[in-house]
Structure 1
Amino acid sequence: MVKPIYLLTLLSCLFSFAAQSASVYRTVSGKNVLSIELLEDDLIHLEWAMNGNASSGRIYTSPMVLRNDHKAKPIPAGGNTLKTKTLSIRVDTSSLCVKVTDIRKQPEYELSNFCPTSTKPDKLSLQFSRENFYHIYGLGEQHKKLGEINGDLSGQRRTPGSEFGNKMVNQGGGAVGNMQVPVAYFLGQGMQNYALFLDNTYAQTWDFSADPYKVETGGDAIRAYVIGGRNLQDLRSGYLDLTGRPPVPPRKMFGLWMSEYGFDNWKEIDVAMRDLRAAKFPVDGAFLDLQWFGGIREGSENTKMGSMRWDKTNFPSPKLRIKEYKEKYGLGVVTIEEPYVGKRLPEYLTMATKGYLVRQCPYPCDPVYLNSQPWWGKGGMLDYTHLEGANFFHDWRREQLIKDGVMGHWTDLGEPEQFDVNAWYAGVGIGTETQHGHRDVHNLYNLFWSQSIAEGYARNKHTQRPFILSRSGTAGSQRFGTAIWSGDIGSNLKNLAAHINTQMHMSMSGFDYYGSDIGGFHRKALAGANADEMYTQWLAVSAAIDIPMRPHTENLCNCKETSPAKIGDVNSNREIIRQRYALSPYYYSLAHEAYQRGAAIFPPMVYHYQDDPGVRTLANQKMIGDRMIVATVAEAGATEALVYLPKGEWIDFHDHERYQSAGEWFGPFPLYREGIYRLPTFVKTGTVIPQIVVDDTLLNIDGLRGTGQKQNTLLVVAYLGDGKLKSKFTLYEDDGESVSYKNTGKGTVNTDLILKQRNNSAELTIAEGRGRYDGMKPGREVNAMFITHGQEIASVAYRKERLKRFDSMQEYKRAARGWFQDGNRVYAKVGVMKLAFVNHIEVRWK
């Protein structure tokens, strides 16, 4: 008779050997199974599970994961040490601990020792040694202490909003999102780093207060990815390769959008737009809150919630009105929707009869009845895990809105806010079987909602890009075109400071498009503070890093101002928004880089300067791309701000003064310059930034002018240094609306902007445009501006032909071609450039 211990050992060896002959390493210890896949040199897939819950072949993935088609590396037979070109993985076959070491260069360094402390279903726990990794980022959205703008996750506990996970939580006189995105980034000394993506959809608690670090969660097994890389950029890109990169939003989403709770009719929207344009503000559209479908009835089953049909009394002829907005005024419309359906609506009856609502048990059980928070009414809940039902509802109700011309979908209450804890859903595939309980679905609910919208566009063959603004989501939501806003935040600067810190972690969690209600949703949270100061500070922050840029507040009384033309320092508000519009080609090109490469648009400084210890905990300073820094401010009475500049030469974006930094603090810099509020902003020497010319005539981001014509003169700004340098920025252009940009070479024009500086000259090359898109013009008007290092310019030539020098800005503006020097700024105007040609502008100095 074979003794049990020897039988177990034999089975373990046979199990491991069988798996190792393929692409999965497996070993058994007691009741537990460890599985490992080597997906790439810098990507390891791990699973710890009890017998019966372990994956039978490849390791299971959740709906958060997009890419599960890796051709895993073969596992060599024998031994418990696995290696890729960059990582070493050593397995303790008794404890099932996995020690991962980075071996890409000497000296090698240990990432962590990952040890399961519980594999019991719904009581999962993983510990991992701290080693030398003291700085931590990511894990989604959790607003920390009010007023604290800086700091990473070191020494903290990241807790869920509720026992289920995602939730709106009360804070600072309002409510903000707690949204779980289970990816954490760990930094050690210099460039030492790794990321851990926990592929688990249940509520999680991460504890970084002691060594070892620990995460506890529910579910059937611990499944995770360890991601290695040369730097944070590699790690984040690797994470997005797993969960999906964000598509490029419609270009109009980079402009100003007006919103409030709520516009009661078309006339109120007309007035808001008229007032903005009368005050010389560009604007691109309006978000419509629940009044568009007739509003709600508190405590009533006759509420309009879930009808998804226009209130034709207050919003008559919606298709014609939206067409007029677009064609005559250059404006777009986005409509809100929620997951709840009033019980007396025909939509409820139809969806319930078909089995497409969340139910009390499997069909034909009755739908759940939601009445515990009846502010919106009483009724049922759409089951977005029911793919057939989600498709039906999209085609039946949302499709008509798209045909009406709506260009985006504002998905509210999707944590979800209200639910039945005992509900039964069509279910999600998690682990070894389909799960139907609310706790199984909770954190995935908004992901499936977003997916139903994106897939509905594709299924119905729309060329229009889907855009979604959502209050919640999880890892993977970004791949469906979902932007996140922080919820019903209170109107005070301490809330804004906490939001700015949260944005750092959302950026690292893969959400480039994350913003807030500008000015705050709950004005009662002001508590006597200066509303004008609060609003303008908030607007400046949002104009720098929010997409979309959207003032929004509760205004059922029609007694509160939300428009930047009506509240705050109006002159400053105007210049803040104009700066955003001027930089729109730069922002839009960064969005293409985010889609193509997973590059962060508004990352914390540590993302690009992780070997600089001075930036590790800075959340108030944001990068815009990789060569621009903005210092955000959220402080009552603030008139100046210090700025930390990494090593190198930096140029003040506003006055073009230069600062040579060894990695140090500068300032304080004034927040008001010539009476206008401006956030301190710096550009690195050698940078090329494409802009558009903004003046009083600009109406929207597409270049519509007060004359009714579209005219977007391209302004290329080159920041010169004091010696030889070479740099490049790629300008991306497309039709701004369709998904054709995804077709390489057919829907996008890419133009390299190349700066070469020598000892006594600098050349700006605007290369030939590569690709094409429908509606593109063969040429465009281009101006250039060189920010010099104090050089006195002797000549400016375009395509080797010297341009005429003018002695005044007035003469320069009147001319079709020529140049003018004003201190350290050199302006050059060359007229229309053909996209098919390489164009050079050269400046020479004495």
Structure 2
Amino acid sequence: MVKPIYLLTLLSCLFSFAAQSASVYRTVSGKNVLSIELLEDDLVHIEWAMHENASSGRIYTSPMVLRNDHKAKPIPAGGNTLKTKTLAVRIDTSSLCVKVTDIRKQPEYTLSELCPLSTKPDQLSLQFSRENFYHIYGLGQQHRKLGELNGDLSGQRRTPGNEMGNRMVGQGGGAVGNTQVPVAYFLGQGMQNWAMFVDNTYAQTWDFTSDPYKMNTGGDALRVYVMGGRNLQDLRSNYLDLTGRPPVPPRKMFGLWMSEYGFDSWKEVDMAMRDLRAAKFPVDGAFLDLQWFGGIREGSDNTKMGSLRWDKTNFPSPKLRIKEYKSKYGLGIIPIEEPYVGKRLPEYLTMATKGYLVRQCPYPCDPVYLESNPWWGKGGMLDFTHLEGANFWHDWRREQLIKDGVMGHWTDLGEPEQYDVNAWYSGVGIGTETQHGHRDVHNLYNLFWSQSIAEGYQRNKHKQRPFILSRSGTAGSQRFGTALWSGDIGSNLKNLAAHINTQMHMSMSGFDYYGSDIGGFHRKALAGGNADEMYTQWLAVSAAIDIPMRPHTENLCNCKETSPAKIGDVNSNREIIRQRYALTPYYYSLAHEAYTRGTAIFPPMVYHYQDDPGVRTLANQKMIGDRMIVATVAEAGAREALVYLPKGEWIDYHDHERYQSAGEWFGPFPLYREGIYRLPTFVKTGTVIPQYIVDDTMMNIDGLRPTGEEENTLLVVAYLGDGKMKSKFTMYEDDGTSVDYQNKAKLSTDLVLKQRKKSAELTIAEARGRFDGMKPGREVNTMFITHGQEISSVTYRKERLRKYNSMQEYKRAAKGWYQDGNRVYAKAGIMKLAYVNHVEIIWR
């Protein structure tokens, strides 16, 4: 039994009182205690609990929270109103309701009044007033109605996958993840907003169908963070400050990765890569499913599940093969792993003997025996909450894979999919004591799994960045280098539409790296649909917003196609993937911003335009950074699409036509242009976007060519507007593989556009910083997207460049410029990183 907090047992339950310490406000009413900390001007930490479960000092935090070192603001003596520079917190000492008000502007407005309906353990219930906040985002991954792009949680109920929380649920001929990430964002008029992070790891139900809103959950106490902020960007950044920002993935993860269930041998991997290269697709690696360790034995103790040892009959000499893939072909390998261990494996005996498996009761009790859903076999389950055991497993089994040269880890079934509800775990500190039951662990299981990988890299002093592709997780998983995918989704466009909608909420929940099985995992779900159309539409969406970009399907029969060189509109597939590779410098720079500042990479439009009512429920259009819009499509027979453009001047990324918008719809725009399928994409004027020049010879994202050389010519594109303007984009570069960028081993280059009445100047500033392996200079081409003005001259560092009259002449030249309508191309050969490089165009 947990000890009551100091003095509470001496006080009568018949009256209320307030007790202030240096940093915690506390008041008691009846059997309940309210605790409040003012952590920042716009961050309030609140706990409602029964006496025996209340925190005795600072409010407890769960393993989801990274930062619990705030120096809380002092609490003034007396009174029941607490204030920061931006928020006022008013306490009703009888009901323990807390009203939070934004006081930055007059008139001030109430964010919400939060009231505990129940603080009884495992029957926790919180209600909070709607006020004027009608648009709601976040709360993780829940695929809603098939084909629906509703874009908003208002008027809905967010329910868990099952009574435990995270779970794969059937939908549309497949199964998709229900992943709980308990952060919700609320929008009112204009720029009014607030957010709430519920620091609770049990299954939660959120009800937004009436006023007040309600949230029900389990556990010992209600603990929430209330966040204010200037806008959604500020709120999301504050949330990630609490739970951790995502590290930058290895650069190769921004390319194309092949996968299926599954490659039976190195020979099959070779065939897939050879087909792609023959069709002139760039590709960066392959994921290996269960076959790499010998596969599974359904219903049998004698399964290979959990061995994490290569099947050297079909995958011989793994270290040499992985080295060869990397050095000769520029490819990476990522193998799958699961949390289950077949009972007849030596791994089972070792882990059971040491007490590192999930058990029936405290050690030396026997491990649980999982046999109720024996598709993978029968056996035990790794206990990742046992930190010593998790470390042992990593060093004993996973460490060898890292030494073999794998680029990352694919963690599957971590909801967890199969479990014993009566199991005993080493446990987690949730609230006032360590909890050992499965309910206590369920939604944290994959977080601890990811943590064991990330900390294993650090403990063993690897410079290589850990990358994890996981099927589940929760708040905080992102800080370990974890990307999520939506599970075994069915192969139809209605499932793709639901996934597009879910991505909106995953982005707001802090997961920049979220994707899907391109083309769907279960092809039977196609049910007579057009497989080629489905695949190319899916590929286009994933190439725009998924990291990693990974085709995957169930192919045990070796009778289904998953490669973009084999299914769909192949010519369109090639151009879709090349566009993704071309935008890599832009995407990679956004990844650095996500790590350093907590900015979203692929947010919904409302994230940047929340004062525009036209985007509040718009789920199918995504931002890429803050100045590029892509309209995703998931509709059978679609040949065109409408696009909403916020106020401003926008340029079509494909044909460079201009659109002046007051906040309105344009189009419809064709999805096929010159026979190639392209999603409508727009760039705001004044934008500068760094790109690679991608051609038939580009083999991977590092610019590998058939000659064995690596060459990536940089193309800096400046989108001119109407009239004077100045803008800047910072491009980030590093070695692409190590964690050294976290210690400032990176290069940052400001790309500055200045537009005047009769000229425009693009400055590629002196690069700041350095990293191992960087070159002193690089070939840089520039392109200005103009209004069609006739250009009279182009200069580079005040030197007039020669004009060419055809693209062929321009391409052959080392220096010069060429105008093609509203596109002006200019190049000056190798640019030194240590120089400030100016390219100026002047028109009549």
TM-score range, shorter chain: over 0.9
**CA distance 1:799–1:9, change in 2 (3 Å):** same
Query: How far apart are the structure 2 equivalents of 1:617 and 1:82?
Result: 35
Give SS of 1:351's match. Answer: helix
Q: 2-side partners of 1:662 and 1:8: how far apart?
A: 63
CA distance in 2, matches of 1:8, 1:568: 73
Deviations 1:89-136 (A, max 9, x none): 000000000000001111211000000000000000000000000000
Q: Match for 2:92: what amino acid?
A: D
> 2:840 maps to what in 1?
842
Mapped to 2, the partners of 1:10 and 1:86 lie a distance apart of: 35
- For residues 728-766 of structure 1, the C-alpha deviation after alignment (integer angstroms, 9 at most, x for no partner) is 00000000000000012xx10000000000000111000
Amino acid at match of 2:739: V
What secondary structure is seen at the aligned counterpart in 1 of 2:778?
A: strand
Letter in 2 for 1:79: G
For residues 741 and 7 of structure 1, the distance between their equivalents in structure 2, rounded to whole angstroms, comes to 55
Distance 1:435 1:21 in 2: 28
C-alpha RMSD of matched pairs (Å)? 1.1
Q: Which residue of 2 aligns with 1:707?
A: 707
1:705 Cα offset (Å) = 1.1
**d(CA) in 2 for partners of 1:9 and 1:364?**
43
Q: Which residue of 1 aligns with 2:755?
A: 757
Q: Find the residue that maps to 2:782 and give its secondary structure.
A: strand
Aligned length: 837
Give 1:722 shift.
Answer: 1.4
Amino acid at match of 1:404: D
Residue 347 (structure 2) pairs with residue 343 (structure 1): no
Identity across aligned pairs (percent)?
88
Residue of structure 2 in register with 1:176 after alignment: 176
Structure 2: distance between partners of 1:355 and 1:703: 48
User: Residues 703 and 711 of structure 2 are in contact (CA less than 8 Å); yes or no, is this contact kept in structure 1?
Assistant: yes
Q: Where does residue 505 of structure 1 map in the other structure?
A: 505
* SS of residue matched to 2:119: strand
Give, in angstroms, the shift of residue 11 of structure 1.
Answer: 8.0
2:4 alignment counterpart: none
Report the 3-state secondary structure (helix = DSSP H, G, I; strand = E; otherwise coil) of the residue aligned with 2:53: coil
2:314 maps to 314
1:404 to 2:420 alignment: no
Q: Distance in 1 between matches of 2:151 and 2:67?
A: 32
Name 2:49's counterpart in structure 1. Answer: 49
In the alignment, the residues of structure 1 paired with residue 108 and residue 791 of structure 2 have an alpha-carbon distance, to the nearest angstrom, of 52
Distance in 2 of aligned mates of 1:538 and 1:440 = 37
Quick one: distance in 2 between partners of 1:570 and 1:196?
45
8 Å Cα contact 2:13/2:31 also seen in 1: no
In structure 2, the residue matched to 1:429 is 429
What amino acid is aligned across from residue 841 of structure 1 in structure 2?
V
* C-alpha distance in structure 2 between counterparts of 1:811 and 1:467, whole Å: 44
In 2, Cα distance between the equivalents of 1:811 and 1:299?
Answer: 67
The residue aligned with 1:214 is 214
In the other structure, the counterpart of 1:327 is: 327
Query: What is the 5 A alignment of 1:21-36?
Result: 21-36=21-36
1:358-377 superposed matches below 5 A: 358-377=358-377
- CA distance in structure 2 between the aligned counterparts of 1:669 and 1:721, rounded to whole angstroms: 22
5+ residue gaps, structure 1, are none
Q: Match for 1:817: what amino acid?
A: K
> Is the contact made by 2:794 and 2:801 (CA closer than 8 Å) also made in structure 1?
yes
Q: Secondary structure at the match of 1:120?
A: coil
Tell me the residue number matched to 1:8.
Answer: 12
SS state of the match for residue 499, structure 1? helix
Aligned counterparts of 2:21 and 2:780: Cα–Cα separation in 1: 61
Q: Is the 8 A contact 2:14 2:30 kept in 1?
A: no
**Cα distance in 2, alignment partners of residues 243 and 53 from structure 1:** 23
Contact 2:408–2:466 at 8 Å: present in 1 too? Answer: yes
- 1:658 counterpart residue number: 658
Q: How does 1:83-482 map to 2 (within 5 A)?
A: 83-482=83-482
Secondary structure of 1:588's match?
helix
User: Given the superposition, is the C-alpha separation of residues 214 and 800 from structure 1 closer, same or farther in structure 2, using an over 3 Å criterion?
Assistant: same
State the distance in 2 between where 1:803 and 1:106 align.
57
Q: For the residues of structure 1 that align with 2:653 and 2:494, how far apart are their CA atoms?
A: 27
Q: CA deviation at 1:789?
A: 1.2
| Correspondence list, 1:566-645, <5 A | 566-645=566-645
Provide, for residues 9-41 of structure 1, a one-character-per-residue CA deviation record: whole Å limited to 9, x for no partner.
89853xx33xx2310000000000000000000
- TM-score, normalisation: structure 1: 0.98
2:750 & 2:270 partners in 1: Cα distance? 40
Instruction: State the AA in 1 paired with 2:212.
Output: P
Q: 1:5 to 1:453 in 2, by over 3 A?
A: closer
State the match for 2:5 in structure 1. none
Q: 1:656, 1:178 → 2: CA distance?
A: 40
Question: Where does residue 799 of structure 1 map in the other structure?
Answer: 797
SS of the residue corresponding to residue 593 of structure 1 reads: helix
Q: Is 2:15–2:30's contact at 8 Å kept on the other side of the alignment? A: no
Tell me which residue corresponds to 1:486.
Answer: 486
Which amino acid is the alignment partner of residue 671 of structure 1?
Answer: L
Q: CA deviation at 1:7?
A: 5.6
SS at match of 1:361: coil
* 8 A contact 2:259–2:286 mirrored in 1: yes
| CA deviation after TM superposition for structure 1 residue 708, in Å | 1.3
TM-score normalised by the chain length of structure 2: 0.99
In structure 2, distance between residues paired with 1:592 and 1:7? 53
Residues of 2 paired with 1:433 and 1:447: CA distance?
19
In the alignment, the residues of structure 1 paired with residue 13 and residue 156 of structure 2 have an alpha-carbon distance, to the nearest angstrom, of 41
Q: Give the Å deviation of 1:813.
A: 0.4
Please report how far the alpha carbon of residue 450 of structure 1 lies from its aligned counterpart in structure 2 after TM superposition: 0.1
| Counterpart amino acid of residue 798 in structure 2 | K
2: CA distance, partners of 1:795 / 1:697: 32
Which of 814, 822, 840 in structure 1 is aligned with 2:820? Answer: 822
CA contact (8 A) 2:244 2:476 kept: yes
Moved over 4 A (4+): 4-7, 9-12
Cα distance, 1:150 vs structure 2: 3.1
Equivalent residues of 2:792, 2:842 under 8 A apart: yes
User: 1:811 & 1:729 partners in 2: Cα distance?
Assistant: 31
Taking the aligned partners of 1:633 and 1:239, their CA distance within structure 2 comes to 30
Aligned to 1:784: 782
Please list the CA deviations of residues 746-790 of structure 1 after superposition, one character each: whole Å capped at 9, or x if unmatched: x10000000000000111000011000000000000000000012
- Native 8 Å contact 2:464 2:739 kept in 1: yes
Following TM superposition, by how much is the alpha carbon of 1:78 offset from its aligned partner in structure 2, in angstroms? 0.1
2:777 and 2:549 mapped to 1: Cα distance? 30
CA distance in 2, matches of 1:318, 1:362: 39
Would you say the 8 A contact 2:201–2:440 is kept in 1? yes
Q: Distance in 1 between matches of 2:490 and 2:736?
A: 33
Q: CA deviation at 1:804?
A: 0.2
Q: What amino acid does structure 2 have at the position aligned with 1:763?
A: E
Provide the residue aligned with 2:731 in structure 1: 731
Shift of 1:392: 0.0
Partner Cα distance (1:299, 1:30) in 2? 54
Pairwise CA distance, 1:8: 3.0
Distance between the aligned counterparts of 1:736 and 1:72, measured in 2?
A: 38
Supply the distance in 2 between the matched residues of 1:785 and 1:550 (Cα, whole angstroms).
Answer: 31
Secondary structure of 2:696 counterpart: coil
Q: Distance in 2 between matches of 1:754 and 1:226?
A: 38
Q: Secondary structure at the match of 1:372?
A: coil
- Paired with 2:151 and 2:456, the residues of 1 have a C-alpha distance of 41
CA 369–717 in structure 1, closer or farther in 2 if over 3 Å, else same: same
Alpha-carbon separation, structure 2, partners of 1:648 and 1:798: 30
Tell me the secondary structure at the aligned position of residue 548 of structure 1.
coil
Instruction: Report deviation, 1:348.
Output: 0.0
